[in-house]
Structure 1
Amino acid sequence: MGDTDPDEPRESLESMWSSLLGFADRYAELGYGPLAAKLRAGGPPPPRVQHTPVIVDTDIGGDPDDAVALTCAARTLPELALVLTTDENGGGRARFARHLLDLHGRHDVPVVAGADLGNTRYYVVDGLTPDDVPAQPTDVLDAVRTVCASTDRHVRWVGMGPLTNLSAVLREAPELVDRLVVTQMGGAINYRDPARAEHNFRLDPDAARAVVATAADLLLVLSDVTFTEQIAISTESDTYRLLAAEGAPEWARLLRTHLDRWFTAFYPSSMQHDPLALATALQLPFVDFTRRRIALAPDARMSLDPEGHFAWVTTQADYPAFRSWLTEQLAY
């Protein structure tokens, strides 16, 4: 091993990938051709984005996993810079997000009410937001531009609902395409109901198709990985008991009430799709992903397609490690 200079700048992963690909190409005739092909097919590694601003785009107010994810972000991410709501319900989702952030002392994080798709079914937080919480602003593009202007680095976009807001930003501000590193909960290669697309994609198929075709750095946290009782919260889970414990803080009591309403109205558990998407966006080590070419049908059903668009997609997760992480984020 040769001498090293501790003051020499560390080579980036992107640079190392490029150097290795160049080496494999130069010596392809010596047997490195397959390595070059694999490197080129896999593409460069995702950019390093630790400590860069975070935008959360959420349909909070339905399945409580959004509220749990926003709680994790509010409590542990000083980089949380903006919360957008999508699939709005008359501004109620944005007001609820504002209330939850305020309970965590995150008055510094603006909330903007985004696209309203006219859906009202998955909304269980009626009456949980105090009347004195005002309606939130509605200019999504201006808010996103403000975050991007605050840094010369990438900005992390964590999508937890339909892709309507993101599609509009990429369409109306193409200069931001290369600035946003997108992690989106949504899509499925082997969806449990093959007759339709995954929930977040099917609520706005055109937006999903536009994002897959346009986003420069896109990582999809697929339902194939997130739809499992191994990461569900129910009344029997330790996480629920923590939130329901005597003396729990107000934010925990709010989450517990939100969960109870969901259990009564829809399902006896809440799979934590969106906290897992947040963990993936934070590049935590218990989520694996790979680069694939994907295509979306007109209704946004997803398939692998050698002529499709490149995207990173999740392949598996260490569920016990994720559950431990989630419990740590919610401890008080």
Structure 2
Amino acid sequence: MTTSAVPPTIIDCDPGVDDAHALFAAIGARETSGLEAVTVVAGNVALRHTRRNALRIREAAGLDAAALPVYAGCPGPMIGPLTDAADVHGADGLDGAGLPEPRGEVEPVHAVAFLIERLRRAAAERRRVRLVTLGPLTNLATALVMAPDIADGLLEVRSMIGSAGRGNITPAAEFNAYVDPEALDRVATTLDAAGTDGVPFFVYGLTLTHTVTADHAEIAGYAALGSRAGQAVAGMLTTYLDRHRVVPLPGMGGAPADEAPLHDPCVIADLLAPGAVRAVPGRLRVVLHGPARGQTLASFGTGPEAGPRAIWMVEGDAGRLRAALLSAVAGLSRA
């Protein structure tokens, strides 16, 4: 249950190791995160895996469909085939988690239809929803194309997407932006144009997430919790660390550090530790064509030519963010 002061929150994700970590934390601290539903999309792995993984995570956290409904959404990007990240997350997306097959099932409503209905209801009730996205923005973009009025039901959108610098799937592009840049462009443009002042769009890109990392000591902290969730996070992060280390910035030289970036969990950690991340208002433009497809160009001027408005989350207190995540997952061991 959540308190009335906390906005209702939907997490749209593509689990994925780091999505799973973020979901466990959001569930473990529901009174702060406000989590009420999960929607899934294809991204890190195919939709058949992301829907299954969301159910496995829910059940490992001790919840069922009545407590946390899961809705399956789009099986691929708005244009072209899916590019996945199974090489990083494993063939099923949760390598190392050790979670059993789920007993429950997703809701019999498409995630896009759910978002349209829920956000229209939020607008009518004057209690707008916070949407946290941890994967490609295909579900939200499709909903906004079908029903632009749902922007009235959004309090804010907080997305792990993009980069104000280099990429991680190409030299230019971050993975979530690269998988569906048309969706990101549609969302950023629509949110900027909504209402009088637009819907706040918080962008947690690689500029932040590559500075918030997990090493072997951090992983040991999760293993020590002794809960199913703690063991799952520890197992996933161990495998993830073997495949996805922090890479030095161009020109710095040296080998990858023995630590892995906590991409998606950064968004949840910021909700749990307000003020731990510095926000810089600016603008975001998405490259849709050519070798830089998926690149997100950040600017901090005021001219409309710079692109839709966005709030770039660029610098964080890594210690506070990591502590917030561990404390939240620890809450599941006490549930």
* TM-score where L is the length of structure 1: 0.75
Pick from 192, 204, 207 the counterpart of residue 183 of structure 2: 207
Pick from 193, 215, 230 the counterpart of residue 252 of structure 1: 230
C-alpha distance in structure 2 between counterparts of 1:195 and 1:119, whole Å: 16
Cα-Cα RMSD: 2.5
Pick from 47, 68, 73 the counterpart of residue 114 of structure 1: 73
1:302 corresponds to which residue? 296
Query: Can you list the C-alpha shifts for 1:72-126, whole angstroms capped at 9, x where unaligned?
Result: 1101114211111122524221222112122222321111122223344424226
C-alpha distance in structure 2 between counterparts of 1:113 and 1:129, whole Å: 20
Pick from 240, 248, 269 the counterpart of residue 219 of structure 2: 240
Identity of aligned residues (%): 24
1:82 corresponds to which residue? 37
1:98 corresponds to which residue? 55
Letter in 1 for 2:220: R
C-alpha distance in structure 1 between counterparts of 2:84 and 2:204, whole Å: 25
Secondary structure of 1:251 counterpart: helix
Query: Can you list the C-alpha shifts for 1:121-142, whole angstroms capped at 9, x where unaligned?
Result: 4242269453453552460123
**Which one has the largest radius of gyration?**
1
Letter in 2 for 1:242: G
Does residue 1:311 correspond to 2:306, yes or no? no
Letter in 1 for 2:269: A
Q: Is the 8 A contact 1:286 1:318 kept in 2?
A: yes
2:250 corresponds to which residue? none
Pick from 173, 188, 195 the counterpart of residue 197 of structure 1: 173
How do 1:155-166 residues align onto structure 2 when only pairs under 5 Å count? 155-166=129-140
Q: CA deviation at 1:220?
A: 0.8
Q: CA deviation at 1:223?
A: 1.4
Q: CA deviation at 1:255?
A: 1.8
Does residue 1:143 correspond to 2:110, yes or no? no
Query: Can you list the C-alpha shifts for 1:147-191, whole angstroms capped at 9, x where unaligned?
Result: 332653110000111111111111112121122210011111222
Does residue 1:288 correspond to 2:278, yes or no? yes
Query: Can you list the C-alpha shifts for 1:195-230, whole angstroms capped at 9, x where unaligned?
Result: 4221110111111111111123211112111112xx
* Residues 200 and 322 of structure 1: CA distance in aligned 2, closer, same or farther (over 3 Å): same
Q: Is the 8 A contact 2:229 2:329 kept in 1?
A: no
Q: Is the 8 A contact 1:196 1:202 kept in 2?
A: no
Structure 1 stretches of at least 4 aligned residues deviating more than 6 Å after TM superposition: none
Q: CA deviation at 1:53?
A: 0.8
* Residues 71 and 212 of structure 1: CA distance in aligned 2, closer, same or farther (over 3 Å): same
C-alpha distance in structure 1 between counterparts of 2:260 and 2:41, whole Å: 20
Number of equivalenced pairs: 277
2:142 corresponds to which residue? 168
C-alpha distance in structure 2 between counterparts of 1:86 and 1:263, whole Å: 24
C-alpha distance in structure 2 between counterparts of 1:136 and 1:186, whole Å: 25
Pick from 4, 19, 22 the counterpart of residue 69 of structure 1: 22
Where in structure 2 are there 5+ consecutive unaligned residues? 77-81, 192-198, 246-257
Pick from 45, 53, 58 the counterpart of residue 13 of structure 2: 58
Secondary structure of 2:158 counterpart: strand
Deviates more, 1:159-168 or 1:117-126: 117-126
C-alpha distance in structure 2 between counterparts of 1:73 and 1:200, whole Å: 20
Q: Is the 8 A contact 1:191 1:197 kept in 2?
A: yes
How do 1:260-279 residues align onto structure 2 when only pairs under 5 Å count? 260-267=238-245, 269-279=259-269
* Residues 141 and 259 of structure 1: CA distance in aligned 2, closer, same or farther (over 3 Å): same
Pick from 213, 225, 242 the counterpart of residue 208 of structure 2: 225
Q: Is the 8 A contact 1:219 1:311 kept in 2?
A: yes
* Residues 266 and 175 of structure 1: CA distance in aligned 2, closer, same or farther (over 3 Å): same
Q: CA deviation at 1:145?
A: 3.7
1:183 corresponds to which residue? 158
